[in-house]
Amino acid sequence: MIKMNKSAIFHQSHDQWQAVVSVNEVEIRLTSGKDIRSVKIVYGDPHLGELTPAGWRWKSTGQTLLLAYETEHSYIWKTILTPENRRLKYHFILQSDDEILQFGEDGFTPIDEEVGLWNNFFLPYLHQSQQFNAPSWVKNTIWYQIFPERFFNGDRSNDLEGTLAWHRGPVSNKERYGGDIAGIIEKLPYLSDLGISGIYLTPVFESVTTHKYDTRNYFAIDPSFGTEQDLIELVKKAHQLNIKVMLDAVFNHCGADFPYWMDVKKHKEASEYKDWFHIKSFEPFAYETFSFDKNMPKLNLSNPDTKQYFIEVAKFWIEKADIDGWRLDVANEIDPSFWIDFRKEIKTVKKDCYILGEVWHDSMQWLRGERFDAVMNYPLGRSIIDFALGKIDSTQFRYRMDKAFAHYPSKVSEVQFNLLDSHDTARLRNILKHDIRRVELAFALLLISFGSICIYYGSEVAMEGEYDPDCRRCMVWDPNKDELAFLKRFKRLIALRNQYFCLRNNSKWQWRETGDLLVIERSNEHQSVWMFVNTSDHPLPISIEKYVPDPKDAFTGRPHATVVNILPKQYIFIAQ
């Protein structure tokens, strides 16, 4: 007899393993090894039972968990429960080929023994405040990230001396090309036609640099970008096109010319703002910075005055311009308690304001409902990139994607900010070695993922660029023949996501094949869309009827050939 792999079995009564998803529902997950064949949960109200000749006996019921995700070494099982009286006591019954055991908070119990009180998990009471609440509009949003200085020059009157002519090709961070808010306003119809429903702007506040992550004045738009009124107009016109607007909050550090920092440099220990920063010593003068950049002194948001100042900054732009969200730069380097107060005050001003943290790694501690609504989901993007690049096969791709999906409660995954590249990375085309088929495949996989989706400006024409500053080139507004062809295909992918609800959230993701042919089904109770991908380096003939009777082209709705030959790294979408 092969013993059950007990060391692989895991559950906790919080985070993604026990997550309140509504006022009366809780999502339960359990992780096991791949030797487990079934998992059942035994649950009930901890105070509900009946007297028997043997004494008081707890009243419980059972429910089978669904095998929801598979990673390289684990199965992840889940179910949704509606606890009677909002109270929950539970344990699990796990079955392998040779064993059946009960599992609870204190360990394992033979199947023929009663599980003791201390060996159960509990949800003492389901409070509405435990429910993860993010703005409902986010989960259907397709974001478009704009680096304003390089997007479009719509007002030459605010160009600084030395502004260069718009051009293709490499740029430096010191070069200025005149992109501004007026240019974004002028291109709103273009973004709407592309299918975009949210724009995220990197910093727009007064700063001496082109990137503006070193702010001088948080209450003023940089003059080279326009005016406060320009931002108000941008948001108003974007809203008329059903496009949300999110700004970038750089609260971890400021610029070297931030007035309060200049006061500290001048007056040292006598400055009334000395506690606004992380000063190591005044003689010699030493202080903490972002990275090791001496022009970006680190702010001390544990200080009450500093904390309130930056909360007021965030509230000001919501009230003044009606923005819809804040992306929080270097969010995990800031005192976590600041974000608790930040969220409370921001949500008071605008309840459905999206609060997005820049965190590149595991972020569960930030996503428990008291700080952020979401983080920038780089791990999911890296999984797609590694697959498109050929670094992992389709089976490994499944494991990586399932790991990303399972890492957070489903309500969190629905609003995660999923992206493939940004102003902080090389552009996708360069990452994928200029193979346009791979670039298109990566975007196709991104656009069928759970969560909200972000596209970096110029991705729709497969712009080039290595790491900063090369990834911040001028937007291509004169696409050539190949770029126009890519743009046409890209727009079809966005339109597909916007057309089919099952490609977004509140739907299933099922892996139907993971070999040379990758087959993914995305479905809900009303729709089903299948993606077929040839992962090999040779053409692959397939019979679509084997998977989808009466197949239809998902793009056109017209009948699709039942036998097709898919080229390497090519994909097709079939609707049912």
Could you list the active site residues?
329, 358
- The position carrying tokens 């090389």 is 426
Q: What is the identity of the amino acid at 137?
A: W
Give the pair of three-digit tokens for residue 9.
């079995």
Q: Which helix (H) or strand (E) holds 383?
A: helix 378-389
**By C-alpha distance, which of 13, 235, 47, 230 is closest to 122?**
13
**By C-alpha distance, which of 337, 259, 266, 254 is closest to 298?**
254
Give the pair of three-digit tokens for residue 37.
């064949």
Distance CA 198, CA 237 (A): 12
**By C-alpha distance, which of 263, 256, 353 is closest to 298?**
256
Q: Which helix (H) or strand (E) holds 20?
A: strand 18-20
Give 139's DSSP letter: G
CA distances from 477 to 6, 115, 238, 328, 473 (A): 59, 68, 20, 30, 12
Q: Which helix (H) or strand (E) holds 564?
A: strand 563-566
Residues whose CB falls within 8 Å of the CB of residue 530, separated by 6 or more in sequence, listed in order: 512, 519, 520, 521, 522, 547, 548, 573, 574, 575, 576
Distance CA 573, CA 492 (A): 11
- Within the chain, how many helices (H) and strands (E) appear? 12, 31
Q: What is the identity of the amino acid at 320?
A: K
Distance CA 201, CA 182 (A): 13
Q: Where are the alpha helices (DSSP H) in 207-303?
A: 228-240, 259-267
